[in-house]
Structure 1
């Protein structure tokens, strides 16, 4: 990593309040170049607290953009961080309307030349796409990273029409804890307590809404630009990583947006900005690449970025199973169009007699993290145990085979029950027998005719079902085998259906694996500069000044632990998402975060599935004698007809409990 100094421009930064039409003030930080000429503005807009939680990341890029001639602006959405107002649902109409107002406000500032760009990762990338679809006139360009255009099927909620147990639960629980944090008195003054209490009274667990919409209905269509890609008028640079769940959005954007205003990059990365150097690498000079985009579309400079291939994609080499990869060897390829003329669909017919697929309910414990972020236990381990719980079909590779795009399966299935799931995994099997997960996909059988409806299976009927797996760039070497593993369960990624322990019968005759095979090439001239950033924020990790820590942190614990109770037939997965420990900021703020997620299931009973997340967050300013704590608990269980959710928030200031609320809700299982 290269720390860039000096920049072409000297810079300054200020914290400001951006007024909205209803009088609400949004908290913003503006980095600007020291110049007498107005410059374009670029905006990152999200709820994750610019004065603390994202401050280290913000410090790597916003000053860098300012030093290269842009006003770089970071804004917290209403009801979060130090912004006024009350929190609402994720990506609500109000949040997007506020974002349009912010774009217009920036364009009207005397230091801005009237042209605005937006960028962001995850939530910030989602908002950039959605605000671009509302087409505010000043917004000319967008860089969206690890973001989705489809909130129903390519976010943290559903996959193939099935409830994403792990991340719907985990992220709803995370946001319950995050939205309950107080504003900072250093930035909002003595009114922090009143702001906090008003926010807490407005809190509603996201899981209530998310589980309340189990098919692709109007709620999800509102939040998904996939419904109308043509609405996006800004130029879009879409960036993703094969180890991030949102990378298929890049493939859809380069397919559906006009080629004169879109480019895509998919690398080997996890859910991170590609310059941060977190596993898996290699990292790239992402900031320099985005500067080419901004200069082209906000300053009218011909940087050559629009002469790059429509899609630059990384094809990773085969590797032994590993839960973390510092660097994934491979090569970059360029595609002039998408679908690519270099990619041909090759069908592999399944062989053998009909097979009963009746996977134990804990199949999936070796799935890895749904959204890897570079931690040591994020990626899937060796898949041999998972393969043994599945029906497997293998195909030899006589020569090196490059796969680029979304594999697809067509399977003839007979089910004796009305509900269930089919899970398909594509694995790379080495000569020593080790099995490396390449990609996977899911189909809720009730969604086989479309994700906007629920059609129960006629018991005893045989039907062909077809679905895509997640996109991938991977090279199968000669001598390895391509393995398709099919299971009827995948916990805790997928919430099991009632009766799914019966499984289904798969008929190989007439069933196919379809691979998008990419033509091999000797070499590629695609290259990126080395990563470059501005100097890091001086945040230290350690212990709080008074030695405080949650009781759960008294002893180190594994990042990902699988526990089997042999007598009970119960499996428990415990996950420490590694969100923080204690961090001390240069302005004296201390933040301690601790979280533990637990997923439990009986290997024979789909109705035994249950999840729990426990969070503790402390925000402490010793110099102000300010000490606040947020504790949350979130649980989901089920029976045959309903999900049962239980959530609790307890907030303290000093030794005083200032807020305590529990929610108990029963939500009908209409599709999930």
Structure 2
């Protein structure tokens, strides 16, 4: 996870703000139970005589070091436009008290409500508060909104979800996300054990650090213990009762991000929601890749000015939903730019979008249902290695390669060349009548744009644990040989496919490393006919499409000065050992090391993830994740090294986690966890 901000010629650095800004560092915010949270606050110097609304970003990622660079670009910008911009380390992170025991606990929400109570009691506050955040901060902004604090009046949520089970790094379509569940747990396992800063908290830092190393759990133990959509996942999922989120929400994301489906659902179910989807990865739109970036901080100011200052910024005369329709591009694992155009819609669902159905027949996709016949879809455990990372952050090599590398490991159907250039916007769904030869099975679906020269670009994908075909809460064993009618939801897309290109759909009962494999090799039998088809959301042009905002060039505040101690390095390799039939993916990311000139803190990270599987042996699947994190200053230097591993047999999953802590290169403590968890239709 990279929190650095690269210098960009497509961004303006703004210094001439309407109000002069001051920064208050390491502010203590008391909690009702006696704990203290630490915050940085940027606000206009004259705010105590001319009070301002407050904007809260509430994260576990450490204000002093790991997010300090990105915070410097954003929070002073908001303060310069007349806001108190507040960056709080949640309980158990950074310099705040306590231990972080899991994601999105009720304690986290309760603390946020207490923070808001504290904010509105300050002399510089007007009593009006907004929240914003990307990923974790986007999640908890929605969750806190659901708690309905009267002072919280608007939220900007980026790259987040309304459903913690269906749209996060743990499960997708009821399948365990092999690539991300263990990886994200290993990430937070290392992140949460980092020490407080002795320059802030004093000599208590060491005792607190050892306590964090000892008591911070590997989150994967809890996540894997809840393989169904039970009360554990319903907590913090605002789709359980959308009506509780009764304040305006600006939902933002990108087509390369893993959370884009959420924006469509919130536009449909939240009456005061606005939506924006660009070509971006999991990042703020003013610094994201691929281009074009936009002046997103200006848009955030327009949104908050409307709701927190009562200004008519014109934002609500514009379309409710603005989306970037990407032009067709040949496959690349990294794009610097995605050409396209903005379109606008006043609602979602929208009458300009209707379903265009394609029916598998032999090896073709036709627009008319064929006669019934059967075809087999057999397991190939190596299918999925060229799918790209689940949630791209904009690092080199994150994106899917040419899908011709995958198509020989699946069953592929191809349409006739399109007779007109066609836009698609929304969620494709693959419907099928099928049966399985095992009680536990899954189906993965890939949708591609095939160029006349043969290149195959992945534009959407989805998967379904077939035991969950009726319910993620109440899965059931498949009756071997019995036909089922299923629907696989695929990632939403905003994509133009040119005249002469073809649409491909590929089917497989495996998708390593996205899905943990079923315990036994599976062969599916799919029956063609009127109930087996790919439904694509075709967008018709309307006059409103062109009535869109022409975004300004991206702006930020001046980026914090830093010294590079070690450069970033990324390596992603796929290896095949033909004699042993072993396939391995190694994903290595050295995110570099840097010294922040404002506080002298040095911090760096190295992450290596290895995913291995042997052909014809789903029980050989192994995921391993290792981290090295360093934080220090001068003669105070700390290092954490973690190792996490996940394997399985027919009936259980096996988890190993270990952490070692070092102070000035001296080993000071370690702890290991081992857990065995029953398979529950996975």
TM-score normalised per structure 2: 0.94
Q: Give the C-alpha shift of residue 297 in structure 1.
A: 0.2
Indicate which of 518, 523, 533 corresponds to 1:512.
533
Counterpart for residue 551 of structure 2? 528
Q: Give the C-alpha shift of residue 558 in structure 1.
A: 5.4
Please give the secondary structure, in 1, of the residue aligned with 2:546: coil
Q: Which moved more, 1:237-246 or 1:80-89?
A: 80-89
Q: CA RMSD in A?
A: 1.3
Residue 646 of structure 2 is aligned to residue 646 of structure 1: no
* Equivalent pair of 2:438/2:478 in contact (CA under 8 Å): yes
Counterpart for residue 124 of structure 1? 137
Please give the secondary structure, in 1, of the residue aligned with 2:680: coil
* Equivalent pair of 1:361/1:606 in contact (CA under 8 Å): yes
Superposed, 1:486-505 pairs within 5 Å as: 486-499=507-520, 501-505=521-525
The 2-side partners of 1:512 and 1:318 are apart by 23
Please give the secondary structure, in 2, of the residue aligned with 1:666: strand
Please give the secondary structure, in 2, of the residue aligned with 1:559: strand
Matched positions, count: 654
Counterpart for residue 608 of structure 1? 620
Q: Give the C-alpha shift of residue 465 in structure 1.
A: 0.9
Q: Give the C-alpha shift of residue 199 in structure 1.
A: 1.9
Counterpart for residue 13 of structure 2? 3
Residue 359 of structure 2 is aligned to residue 349 of structure 1: yes
Q: Give the C-alpha shift of residue 354 in structure 1.
A: 2.3
* Equivalent pair of 1:583/1:592 in contact (CA under 8 Å): yes
Indicate which of 306, 310, 324 corresponds to 1:300.
310
Please give the secondary structure, in 1, of the residue aligned with 2:310: coil
Q: Give the C-alpha shift of residue 525 in structure 1.
A: 3.4
Counterpart for residue 323 of structure 1? 333
Q: Give the C-alpha shift of residue 655 in structure 1.
A: 4.2
CA separation of 1:133 and 1:3: change in aligned 2, threshold 3 A: same
* Equivalent pair of 1:426/1:440 in contact (CA under 8 Å): yes
Counterpart for residue 159 of structure 1? 172
Indicate which of 471, 479, 498 corresponds to 1:477.
498
* Equivalent pair of 2:246/2:270 in contact (CA under 8 Å): no
Indicate which of 42, 56, 64 corresponds to 1:43.
56
Provide structure 2 residue ranges, at least 5 long, that are not aligned to the other structure. Answer: 1-10, 363-372
CA separation of 1:558 and 1:373: change in aligned 2, threshold 3 A: closer
Counterpart for residue 445 of structure 2? 424
The 1-side partners of 2:243 and 2:652 are apart by 38
Q: Give the C-alpha shift of residue 620 in structure 1.
A: 2.2
* Equivalent pair of 2:569/2:589 in contact (CA under 8 Å): no
CA separation of 1:658 and 1:280: change in aligned 2, threshold 3 A: same
Superposed, 1:82-93 pairs within 5 Å as: 82-93=95-106
Counterpart for residue 371 of structure 1? 391
Counterpart for residue 582 of structure 1? 593
Counterpart for residue 415 of structure 1? 436
* Equivalent pair of 2:639/2:665 in contact (CA under 8 Å): no
Q: Give the C-alpha shift of residue 393 in structure 1.
A: 1.2
The 2-side partners of 1:592 and 1:65 are apart by 28
Please give the secondary structure, in 2, of the residue aligned with 1:166: coil
The 1-side partners of 2:453 and 2:106 are apart by 53
Indicate which of 219, 226, 247 corresponds to 1:213.
226
* Equivalent pair of 1:416/1:461 in contact (CA under 8 Å): no
The 1-side partners of 2:284 and 2:629 are apart by 25
Please give the secondary structure, in 1, of the residue aligned with 2:676: strand
The 2-side partners of 1:423 and 1:350 are apart by 15
* Equivalent pair of 1:355/1:391 in contact (CA under 8 Å): no
Residue 577 of structure 2 is aligned to residue 565 of structure 1: yes
Indicate which of 115, 121, 127 corresponds to 1:108.
121
The 1-side partners of 2:604 and 2:14 are apart by 31
Q: Give the C-alpha shift of residue 654 in structure 1.
A: 2.2
The 2-side partners of 1:432 and 1:528 are apart by 35
Counterpart for residue 32 of structure 1? 43
Residue 396 of structure 2 is aligned to residue 386 of structure 1: no
The 2-side partners of 1:454 and 1:539 are apart by 51
Q: Which moved more, 1:520-529 or 1:135-144?
A: 520-529
Please give the secondary structure, in 1, of the residue aligned with 2:660: strand
The 2-side partners of 1:232 and 1:248 are apart by 18
Q: Give the C-alpha shift of residue 104 in structure 1.
A: 1.4
Counterpart for residue 379 of structure 2? 359
Residue 235 of structure 2 is aligned to residue 222 of structure 1: yes
The 1-side partners of 2:333 and 2:19 are apart by 42
The 2-side partners of 1:478 and 1:83 are apart by 57
Q: Which moved more, 1:427-436 or 1:181-190?
A: 181-190
The 1-side partners of 2:347 and 2:247 are apart by 19
Counterpart for residue 367 of structure 2? none
* Equivalent pair of 2:477/2:681 in contact (CA under 8 Å): no
